[in-house]
Amino acid sequence: KPIYVLNGPNLNMLGLREPAIYGSDSLDDVRKKAEARAKALGLTIDFRQSNIEGELVTWVQEARDKAAAIILNAGAYSHSSIALLDAMQAAELPVIEVHLSNIFRREPYRQHSYISHGAKGVICGLGAKGYELALEALADLLAA
Ligand code: DQA
């Protein structure tokens, strides 16, 4: 089964959007790096982005049967979505939460994530590298 790599709102704007905070890589660049890393680790990924909260909820629900694990950058929904947390808990899969930026050195409203409560681990502040590190962690976890 693949690892679902799910990206939330505004991440389609990556590269154009506040590059001082989020870097100059586009989401397609992030996808390519993640795919290369996954391949090296013997994993497959299904990389997706949506601006719609309900679509992300549906994907997390679907992962329960179709995925081995989830890497989730829920964007701003991290700070607001109990629905996404509920879906993660129902999925009963390891979820690694990723943020490109270090949310703890940013605005106070970004310093709480509802979805962290349902995450196996959280990686933030390391840019696109965070996705690769999440894949490494899952490779170990799934092999154990
Ligand atoms: C983000 C951090 C969030 O606070 C923000 O709303 C995003 C991106 C990150 O990857 O750093 O959209 O999840």
User: Residue ranges per domain, the chain?
Assistant: 3-143
Complex confidence, ipTM: 0.99
Ligand 1 mean position, distance from CA 144 (Å): 31
- Ligand 1 contact via 51 beta carbon (within 6 Å): no
**Which is catalytic among the residues 4, 77, 99, 114?**
99
pTM: 0.97
Half-sphere exposure of 90 (CA within 13 A, CB side): 14
3-143: CATH topology: Rossmann fold (3.40.50)
C-alpha distances in angstroms, 103 versus 1, 76, 100, 126? Answer: 31, 11, 9, 11
Half-sphere exposure of 115 (CA within 13 A, CB side): 32
- Per-residue pLDDT of 105-143, as tens digits, reads 999 999 999 999 999 999 999 999 999 999 999 999 999
117 is a catalytic site residue? no
Tokens representing residue 99 in the block = 């943020």
- Ligand 1 contact via 129 beta carbon (within 6 Å): no
